[in-house]
Chain A
């Protein structure tokens, strides 16, 4: 089944404790992206990747890092989480790098205390 898989789905952590949210897609998509969803703000892009070893900042990259060492994986790293990073995070992928349907994971709800 074609899908985007995120882990963990739910996480409660404390300020400053490094964490990684993994994202994997099995559709051989070139483009991958991370979004955060906050009430009243919709989805805002954190980082995106056009292909392996090619990443760039989105609209809200502060406090996050990403890497794209393999085509299927695109982890989101929070080196020192803070309470303002409490949010619902979505990974998404797309075939090619132009306009087309984004396929979303089921989301990772992160709470930073």
Chain B
């Protein structure tokens, strides 16, 4: 069975500081990995995804994540955060079989302080 573990439930940082949100997964088959972001009182939006190819993937708002197969990790990073990055972030892995199910981690709340 596949699973996702987000190692931090809350990450407080000051504005303009770097941040890393950690995600580890377990799977016995090839995986596809995703990061979704949930702003307050909104649904989830795709931030970035790894399907194949380059192990470093980037989003349009400065986040990046690196797929590390040997460490079974897909950590999310940003070199300088803004107040507007305050949100909950979910790591997800595609399920096995052909159902296309996404299995989500527990979520990490990023709190950016001025």
- List chain A positions with a Cβ less than 8 A from chain B: 4, 31, 33, 35, 40-45, 48, 50, 56, 58, 90, 92, 94, 96-102, 104-107
B108 to chain A, nearest CB (A): 10
Chain A residue numbers with a CB within 8 Å of B107 are 42
B111 at the interface (CB under 8 A from A): no
**A40 and B100 contact, CB distance less than 8 A:** no
Sample (22) of A-B pairs whose CB atoms are under 8 Å apart: A33-B101, A40-B9, A42-B90, A42-B104, A42-B107, A43-B90, A45-B101, A48-B101, A90-B43, A92-B44, A94-B100, A98-B98, A98-B100, A99-B32, A99-B51, A99-B100, A100-B100, A101-B49, A102-B102, A104-B44, A105-B43, A107-B41
Partner among A4, A96, A101 whose Cβ is within 8 Å of the Cβ of B43: A4
Task: Give the one of B32, B46, B94, B102 with max A CB within 10 A.
Answer: B102
**B44 and A99 contact, CB distance less than 8 A:** no
Give 18 A-B pairs besides A42-B4, A105-B43 with Cβ atoms closer than 8 angstroms: A4-B43, A31-B100, A33-B101, A40-B9, A40-B106, A42-B90, A42-B104, A43-B44, A48-B99, A90-B43, A90-B44, A96-B100, A98-B98, A99-B100, A102-B44, A102-B46, A104-B44, A106-B43
